[in-house]
Structure 1
Amino acid sequence: MIAPNQPINLSVLPPVSSQEQFAQWLGITQDTVRGWVENNTVPNIKIGRQRFINITRLVEQLREGKTIFSRGDYSDAD
């Protein structure tokens, strides 16, 4: 788990992340991440039968200045 308030080096993150790994990175529960995916609050992509967090898209939007992620922001998810 990443220590609170410790910056994350965005350039070394993988293009996608499992929901479990994403929850660990943020120090939150898997249920919270699952809810974000189900509500399209974070960018996600379906690979096989599983949904992964689209880290590439997330980082791109963070670099563009996005700071608020709301339900339905990513309803166009694959």
Structure 2
Amino acid sequence: MSFDQNIIVNLSVISPVVSQEQFATFIGATPDTVRGWVENDTLPHVKLGRSRYINIIAFVDDLKNGKTIFSRGDYCND
């Protein structure tokens, strides 16, 4: 998966974590696609209760640091 690092994200209006469905809507992907990325540790995520949420802070930090390619297993140690 590849992202344009020139996208400006205003963190003051975004929650530190979002549901997989919200993230899918935000980036224009299907919820099933995002779910697969979470299951394959392609996106930074946290488990809250029985659900996994996308860690927006880690995601945006990676984009700011120049990460443009997100691959399977990138977040398996998080």
Q: Same fold (TM over 0.5)?
A: yes
Q: How many residues align?
A: 71
Alignment of 1:21-32 (within 5 A): 21-32=22-33
Structure 1 counterpart of 2:4:
none
Structure 1 counterpart of 2:74:
73
Gaps of 5+ in 2: 1-6
Are the counterparts in 2 of residues 45 and 52 from structure 1 also a CA contact under 8 Å? Answer: yes
Q: CA RMSD in A?
A: 1.1
Gaps of 5+ in 1: 1-6
TM-score (norm 1): 0.84
Quote the sequence identity (%). Answer: 59
Higher relative contact order (CA 8 A, sep 6+): 2
Structure 1 counterpart of 2:10:
10
Are the counterparts in 2 of residues 45 and 51 from structure 1 also a CA contact under 8 Å? Answer: yes
TM-score (norm 2): 0.84
Are the counterparts in 2 of residues 42 and 73 from structure 1 also a CA contact under 8 Å? Answer: yes
Poorly superposed stretches of 4+, deviation over 3 Å:
none
Instruction: Output the amino acid matched with 1:39.
Output: N
